[in-house]
Amino acid sequence: MIVVTGATGNVGRALVTQLAADRVPVRALTRDPTRADLPAGVEVVRFAPPTEPAATAAQFEGATALFLHVAAGGEHTAELLAAAREAGVRHVVVLSSIILDHDDAAAHPIHVMHTRLEQQVRDSGLDWTFLRPGAFSTNSLQWVPQVRAGDTIRWPFTQSVTAPVHEADIAAVAAVALRAPKEHAGAVLSLTGPTAVTAEEQIQAVGRALGRDLTVVEIPPHEVTPDMFPHISPEMLPALLESFGAAVDSEPDLTTTVEEVTGRPARTFEQWAKDHAEDFRTG
Ligand SMILES: NC(=O)c1ccc[n+]([C@@H]2O[C@H](COP(=O)([O-])OP(=O)(O)OC[C@H]3O[C@@H](n4cnc5c(N)ncnc54)[C@H](OP(=O)(O)O)[C@@H]3O)[C@@H](O)[C@H]2O)c1
């Protein structure tokens, strides 16, 4: 049995969907099972934080492997990992971040958060695999409100470059590591998409997927408003804009880890836009 935290999120949902399709026993933890809407074959269980010790132990019963999202443990990650180990979990695959490959970003809040997470996992006595993805392709869902409202997308740092990685590829790597723990114990896997693309090129790819011609207008950062980033907490926004600025005309590291681990090339952003075209259409 594999237990997946963050199971309704971008990566977690793709992961439990892949595992269920392969008929691997999987238990999805979510704070609200009534809203999870996960595929048949997935055991959906209410996420119990370590402040509820009996329920925490029960959610790991019969499990040997765990997929860990940073939000699940929060301040109680050490206790969560101890409960998992006590229940029989031996291997944890961690959703971390490629920012940890960059020591010069050590003060960035995302670096700080995941450094702590990885250290807690190293200290847990469990075998581990760290997944360190770069920018998710799903970040492009930030353009949904503007794309639904019209054909002009106003955006800062339109020439910022990333190598966006498809959530299904992160999930595919996680699934391999969870199913073959011995081969992947102690591995640090930095994951990117196959090519570098600018924000403007991503918006144009979304337009092609929708059969629409979108116009991209560069705006100065002071014209950015929090509603343009519905998935980012306002206090994270300055750090995010700073990283966008630093990525203008940059050459992001590209890794071939997705293909090496899964045997299939990483999906392009063009593919992601096709897979998610419905998300951009008016609901
Ligand atoms: N976006 C990027 O470009 C990027 C790049 C590298 C690394 N990362 C890292 O990847 C992770 C985000 O992954 P994701 O996009 O798959 O996640 P997500 O979609 O943002 O969220 C995953 C799930 O976590 C659960 N959750 C949220 N808050 C929680 C809490 N306080 N306690 C328990 N569960 C909680 C929610 O599920 P329920 O509501 O069902 O409980 C949510 O659906 C972060 O660690 C991020 O730093 C992101």
Residue 221 lies inside a defined structural domain of this protein: no
In the reported structure, the alpha carbon of residue 46 is separated from the centroid of ligand 1 by a whole-number distance in angstroms of 16
In the reported structure, the alpha carbon of residue 9 is separated from the centroid of ligand 1 by a whole-number distance in angstroms of 6
Residue 30 lies inside a defined structural domain of this protein: yes
Residue 223 lies inside a defined structural domain of this protein: no
Considering only CA atoms, which residue is closest to atom 40 of ligand 1? 30
Predicted confidence (pLDDT) at residue 147 exceeds the cutoff of 70: yes
Digit-coded pLDDT (tens) for 20-70: 999 999 999 999 999 999 999 999 999 999 999 999 999 999 999 999 999
Residue 50 lies inside a defined structural domain of this protein: yes
Digit-coded pLDDT (tens) for 5-26: 999 999 999 999 999 999 999 9
Q: Which of 207, 194, 184 is nearest to 162 (CA)?
A: 194
Considering only CA atoms, which residue is closest to atom 34 of ligand 1? 72
Digit-coded pLDDT (tens) for 175-196: 999 999 999 999 999 999 999 9
Residue 19 lies inside a defined structural domain of this protein: yes
Domain that holds residue 174: 2-137+164-193+252-266
What pairs with residue 217 in β-bridges?
A: 154
CATH number at residue 100: 3.40.50.720
Residue 256 lies inside a defined structural domain of this protein: yes
Residue 110 lies inside a defined structural domain of this protein: yes
Q: Are 131 and 172 in contact (CB under 8 A)?
A: no
Gap between the Cα atoms of 57 and 30, Å rounded? 15
Residue 151 lies inside a defined structural domain of this protein: no
Helix or strand or coil: residue 209?
helix
Q: Is the beta carbon of 9 within 6 A of some atom in ligand 1?
A: yes
Q: Which of 253, 164, 236, 255 is nearest to 203 (CA)?
A: 164
**Domain count of the fold of the chain:** 1
Q: Which of 165, 140, 168, 169 is nearest to 14 (CA)?
A: 168
CB atoms within 10 A of CB 24: 16
Gap between the Cα atoms of 26 and 32, Å rounded? 17
- The two three-digit tokens of residue 209, written as one number: 């997927």
The whole model's pTM is what? 0.97
Band of pLDDT at residue 283, cut at 50, 70 and 90? low
